[in-house]
Amino acid sequence: MTFLKFEILVVLFVLATYLLGIILVYVNVRLPARYNFQVLSTEEMAQITPPAFRNFVNAIHSLGFDLVAHLRSVNGSTGNTTTLTLLYNRAALDLALVCEIKIAQMSATVKSLCYAEFVTVFEDGREVCTNNSTAGSSFVPNPQKPIYKLPEVNDLESLYAIHTGLASNVNAARKSLPPQDQEIISLEEDIVRPMERQASMGYLRLDESSQMYRPTVKGAVIMTAQSLWPLSMIRKQRAAAQSRRIRKDFQPANVQTSSSFKPQRSS
């Protein structure tokens, strides 16, 4: 086999991989247009969540946050499960989430992700979100609502200190948190709002019959390209560089070394 033929085969293989990926994303990706959360008790949450999840909740509570609700939602079409605990710090006007997402195939969990997140919303519509999730996003970023991912930071006192530093750079008044009896409704709206934005940009489409957002052809192409080499490698490198820069600028050295809270991630 000549070198030229080998190059042609490699190119065809790459193109076939991308084409298959686009088809799979277009056919399989389904995102709920509405989340109807079931409210659970603390005892029920203890039975269905891993130790890392409960450790994150306890750590956030020790930072001055109060429990709002334990929530769970199951995607009837895919079997994926979202379990989360919502907490408020009404004095600082910050909210926090501990989230576990279980991806299912053939009624069996094939992937589980557990992370913590802090969010500050401002009166002018801007937001700052800081989390330690290891998962990348397939959505086109919203410059008004940046999401800072710091998967290396398991110490939530340190993560919250970083979030506070990032939020302090926004020159705007903080928005009041939703009043009692509106917290869950507000959360459900906040979760679907990014998908509405992606739909307005032509990356998702709403399937009225199933009330699911599904990728358009353009959206499937972009999602696939972001998840495959070489763009996936470039995005990981940029995310790692951003994480290092943020930790260098905002992470208090004494917090990371003094805290003994080092939860293990769920498998």
Q: pLDDT tens-digit profile of 121-171?
A: 999 999 999 999 999 888 889 999 999 999 999 999 999 999 999 999 999
pLDDT band at 45 (very low <50, low <70, confident <90, very high): very high
CA 27 to chain centre: 22
* One-letter amino acid of 3: F
**In the structure encoding, which two tokens stand for residue 237, read together?**
């490198």
Q: Which residues, including other chains, have CB under 8 Å from residue 233's CB and lie 6 or more apart?
A: none
- Asked if residue 24 belongs to a domain, the reply is no
**In the structure encoding, which two tokens stand for residue 125, read together?**
């519509």
pLDDT, mean of residues 17-42: 93
Residue 265 has pLDDT above 60, yes or no: no
- Asked if residue 114 belongs to a domain, the reply is yes
- The pLDDT of residue 238 is 95
Q: Which of 31-35, 41-45, 189-193 bottoms out in mean pLDDT, i.e. has the lowest?
A: 31-35
- Asked if residue 143 belongs to a domain, the reply is yes
Q: What is the pTM of this model?
A: 0.90
- The pLDDT of residue 264 is 41
- Asked if residue 8 belongs to a domain, the reply is no
- The pLDDT of residue 266 is 40
Q: What are phi and psi of 76, to 5 degrees?
A: -65, -25
- The pLDDT of residue 104 is 80
Percent of all residues in the chain with a pLDDT value above 90, rounded to a whole number: 79
- The pLDDT of residue 49 is 96
- Asked if residue 265 belongs to a domain, the reply is no
Domain with 244, as residue range(s), is 29-258
Mode of pairing for the β-strands spanning 147-149 and 127-131: parallel
- Asked if residue 223 belongs to a domain, the reply is yes
Domain count, the chain: 1
Residue 5 has pLDDT above 80, yes or no: no
pLDDT, mean of residues 191-220: 95
pLDDT, mean of residues 213-229: 95
DSSP codes of every residue in the chain: --HHHHHHHHHHHHHHHHHHHHHHHHHH--EESS--PEEE-HHHHHHHS-HHHHHHHHHHHTTT-EEEEEEEEE-TTT--EEEEEEEEETTTTEEEEEEEEEEEETTEEEEEEEEEEEEEEBTTS-EEEEE-------SPP-TTS-EEE-TT---HHHHHHHHHHHHHTS-SPBPPPPPTT-HHHHHHHHHHHHHHHHHHTTSEEEETTTTEEEE-HHHHHHHHHHHSTTHHHHHHHHHHHHHHHHHHHH--HHHHHH----PPPP-
- Asked if residue 38 belongs to a domain, the reply is yes
pLDDT, mean of residues 4-13: 78
- Asked if residue 266 belongs to a domain, the reply is no
78 versus 109: the higher-pLDDT residue is 78
